[in-house]
Structure 1
Amino acid sequence: MRRKEVKMRILGIDLAVTAKHRAILADERGRFIGGILKFRTGQADLERIYATARRGMKADEELVVVLEATDIVWYPVAVYFYQCGARVYLVNPRLAADLGRFYRRHAKSDRLSAQTLARLPVVNPDGLYPWVWSGPDYLALRRGCKELERLTTQASAIQNRLRSADHLGWPGLHQRVFRQPFSPAARWFRDHCYDPRRVVEAGVSGLRQAWRAAELYDGDEGWIEPLLTLAREVLSLYGEQGRYLDYRALTDEVQREQRRLAALEAEARFVRLQVTRPRYRQLHSSRNLETLKGVGQDGAAVYVAFIGDPDRFTNNRAFRGWHGLVPRSDQSGEREAKGLRISQAGPDPVKKYGFLGAESARQWDPQIAAIYHDQMVNKGKHHTQAVCACATHLLDRIRVILSEDRPYELRDVDGTPVTTEEARAIIAARYTVPEEVRRRNTRRARRERAERRAERKEKRRSRSR
């Protein structure tokens, strides 16, 4: 018996940041209606596009609007059509790009992006999730989380540059003097005595006296004598007159970087304490997410902000398809290849905190630890693949807790409630992965990656012939 088609009209919109947006209409079979519609984000243009889309539609027919999440220009457009009663889908750019690559093999056109989006509800309905307006508080939290992520990323980049400068000016510094390269003592050292000539001139007593008078002083003085020894070595290497390295210029550069780092860290601290955490506690007052091992306030804020209404996902399969921490499945004829790269369909902050949280949760939660152990020992996965599998199950729990708003309870694999101490003992006894297994899986993963690279290279070579 043929399934009855649902009458609807699909409006695929290719958003632009400065140019005009492009849209195209399609019916429920993906057949295009008319040509490209151009408009800007203004009331008159939006009303014109809506009227054009509804023209000829019956009252019981649904208008579906498909947008790519381009920058933030999607938001006012989505709000307008949502207010008009349309069903709005936000498409991750990766999904649109995958389908777009297929069409580009046969055509190259300005219509392509709008066409791709308009066809998505027909060719991949299970991969689309309706946009649900959660309110301005959720948008503010989402933007705060993104701002915090940007600040953290910028600070990490500066830390990497400072490490690089240390390797240049003070070879062996992190191994012999400062195990923690951004400890209070290490920061004070960069600001006050990065030039090894000053270190030698001050000597142990001078360095100790200056360090004790510093605002950052924390009682750690074990680095002073090793630093003096290393200073003499680098001067012997580069020369006291700066023949091979200008320490004055390097010191100025390092101090500028540290000032920028301090400013970014202060701004990130402000956003974390005054913006994201208060807003998160307002929207999730029970804070039940934090009862999950591996979920802290920053991660919980990301989950609340980006998941929004958890009930918009009908089941865990739909939720997994949204967040993207699941491997692709390549099916061809009777063959099915699994264990491929994760689809990466969802928001990057959700994937990031899901992975980091799973790394911690596997050490505290017996059920997550059992999954990790099975992936490593029985399925031969390497560490990153195993943690991704754990992250998928951790995110499943997060969805349930947000939906039911109840605290999480640690349990053994048979469902028996356990304390934190009992959980740690269970993990140590049953789910410790032998080092030989880790090494074996890592070798296999490297070999398989090399084989896949060689296969892709051969395919590119054969296509170019």
Structure 2
Amino acid sequence: MISSIYFAFNYFITVKYRIIKSSKNEVFNVAYEASKHRCKEAKIDDLFDLCENTIVTLNVPQEAELITVEMVSSIRNLLQTRRNYKKMMVNLASKQPAFKRLQTLIGVGEESAAMILGEVYDIALSKKAENFASYCGLTPRNKKSGSSVDTHGKISKMGSPILRHAIYLASEYARRHNPYLANLFARVKNGNKKRHKLAIVAVANKMARYIYAILKHDSDFVLLYEDLMKLPEDTRTTFFQSITTDIPEKTRRCIYKYSDENGVVHDFTFTGNDLEE
């Protein structure tokens, strides 16, 4: 929202002194439309206070204003082009059966599913899930020094950086909502803030293996009852409190799957609560 408001102000009210000279109602209308009706009047009050307490050059050359408008216009066009390409990418990927299956994996949305399919040409080229994780560059890089014992350093970063980026971003969501990965993240991090990145990499590695299984076996990702029962009770309880199986016919929320004690698979969505506090 902030970026859209920023571009709106730079495009229509190019410099700070023009904001001050404008009425709050005029500025609010610009921000309200740019933020898709999410901007509040209190934000405009804060904006005016900020501008009034900032040193402003009152005599701004017209050339400077024109340059500002042209630069912002170019950025807006580039962002729109980027959005158009993303839509094209998703549209092409949606024609593949695996597109919907990948989205049953918690953390993978339309764009990340499209990025994954765009980078994975043939899953059969990877004999094992470990090989696929290596292709993603999400395996530890072994370090050897003379006669010392091998140690695990940073990730290898081999293979596709686009694929690695897509999985890494998906992992940030997954470690807060997928109970398996929330438990893995907490176990690796062990309460140490310095181990956050290490824990995320562990989650991303596991995500790569899940993706491999989905593509290899052409199947959905299902949270199995027997695996859920192996998790700590508090993690399991928090998970079931954060989901609902009462899904509207039309919903924009991602729909996932879990099996009960009888092996029956149920669809569910998240209510918005994270497993990690």
Q: TM-score under structure 1 normalisation?
A: 0.46
Aligned pair count reads 241
Match of 1:263 among 62, 73, 77: 77
The code of the aligned residue for 2:52 comes to R
Match of 2:90 among 268, 277, 283: 277
Match of 2:8 among 182, 188, 196: 188
Q: Does structure 2 retain, via aligned residues, the 8 Å contact 1:288–1:407?
A: yes
Match of 2:68 among 249, 254, 273: 254
The code of the aligned residue for 1:222 comes to A
The code of the aligned residue for 1:293 comes to I
Aligned to 1:348: 161
Aligned to 1:401: 214
Higher RCO (C-alpha under 8 Å, 6+ residues apart) = 2
Q: Kindly provide the CA deviation profile for residues 141-177 of structure 1, in whole angstroms up to 9, marking residues without a partner as x.
A: xxxxxxxxxxxxxxxxxxxxxxxxxxxxxxxxxxxxx
How far residue 368 of structure 1 moved from its aligned partner, in angstroms, is: 0.8
Aligned to 2:240: 422
Aligned to 1:157: none
How far residue 261 of structure 1 moved from its aligned partner, in angstroms, is: 2.0
How far residue 413 of structure 1 moved from its aligned partner, in angstroms, is: 7.7
The code of the aligned residue for 1:377 comes to N
Distance in 2, matches of 1:325 and 1:267, equals 31
Match of 1:320 among 109, 115, 133: 133
Change (3 A) 1:411 1:359: farther
Aligned to 1:337: 151
How does 1:134-153 map onto structure 2 within 5 Å? Answer: none
Q: Does structure 2 retain, via aligned residues, the 8 Å contact 1:375–1:381?
A: no
Aligned to 1:15: none
Distance in 2, matches of 1:315 and 1:381, equals 31
User: Counterpart of 1:329 in 2: which secondary structure?
Assistant: strand
Bigger Cα Rg = 1
User: Counterpart of 1:291 in 2: which secondary structure?
Assistant: coil
How far residue 379 of structure 1 moved from its aligned partner, in angstroms, is: 8.4
Match of 1:232 among 32, 35, 52: 52
Distance in 2, matches of 1:317 and 1:233, equals 57
Note the aligned Cα RMSD (angstroms).
3.4
Q: Does structure 2 retain, via aligned residues, the 8 Å contact 1:410–1:420?
A: no
Match of 2:37 among 218, 229, 232: 218
How far residue 353 of structure 1 moved from its aligned partner, in angstroms, is: 0.7
The code of the aligned residue for 1:326 comes to T
Change (3 A) 1:239 1:259: closer
Change (3 A) 1:386 1:213: closer
Match of 2:110 among 291, 294, 297: 297
Change (3 A) 1:195 1:420: same
How does 1:14-413 map onto structure 2 within 5 Å? Answer: 180-183=1-4, 185-205=5-25, 207-208=27-28, 211=30, 218=37, 220=39, 221-234=41-54, 237-241=55-59, 246=60, 251-273=65-87, 275-284=88-97, 287-331=100-144, 332-333=146-147, 335-338=149-152, 340-377=153-190, 382-411=195-224
User: Counterpart of 1:410 in 2: which secondary structure?
Assistant: coil
Distance in 1, matches of 2:31 and 2:194, equals 50
The code of the aligned residue for 2:240 comes to E
Aligned to 1:150: none
* Ranges in structure 1 where 5+ consecutive residues have no aligned partner: 1-179, 426-430, 434-465
Distance in 2, matches of 1:353 and 1:193, equals 37
Q: Does structure 2 retain, via aligned residues, the 8 Å contact 1:203–1:228?
A: no
The code of the aligned residue for 2:19 comes to V
Distance in 2, matches of 1:424 and 1:203, equals 45
Q: Does structure 1 retain, via aligned residues, the 8 Å contact 2:98–2:215?
A: no
How far residue 320 of structure 1 moved from its aligned partner, in angstroms, is: 2.2
User: Counterpart of 2:117 in 1: which secondary structure?
Assistant: helix
How far residue 329 of structure 1 moved from its aligned partner, in angstroms, is: 1.2
* Ranges in structure 2 where 5+ consecutive residues have no aligned partner: 231-235, 244-274
Q: Kindly provide the CA deviation profile for residues 198-225 of structure 1, in whole angstroms up to 9, marking residues without a partner as x.
A: 23333435545x6499787737333333
Change (3 A) 1:407 1:230: same
The code of the aligned residue for 1:409 comes to V
Q: Kindly provide the CA deviation profile for residues 401-456 of structure 1, in whole angstroms up to 9, marking residues without a partner as x.
A: 0111111112468345989951748xxxxx747xxxxxxxxxxxxxxxxxxxxxxx
The code of the aligned residue for 1:335 comes to V
Change (3 A) 1:269 1:211: closer
The code of the aligned residue for 2:96 comes to L
Q: Does structure 1 retain, via aligned residues, the 8 Å contact 2:99–2:114?
A: no
Q: Does structure 2 retain, via aligned residues, the 8 Å contact 1:365–1:411?
A: no
Q: Kindly provide the CA deviation profile for residues 186-207 of structure 1, in whole angstroms up to 9, marking residues without a partner as x.
A: 3321112232332333343554
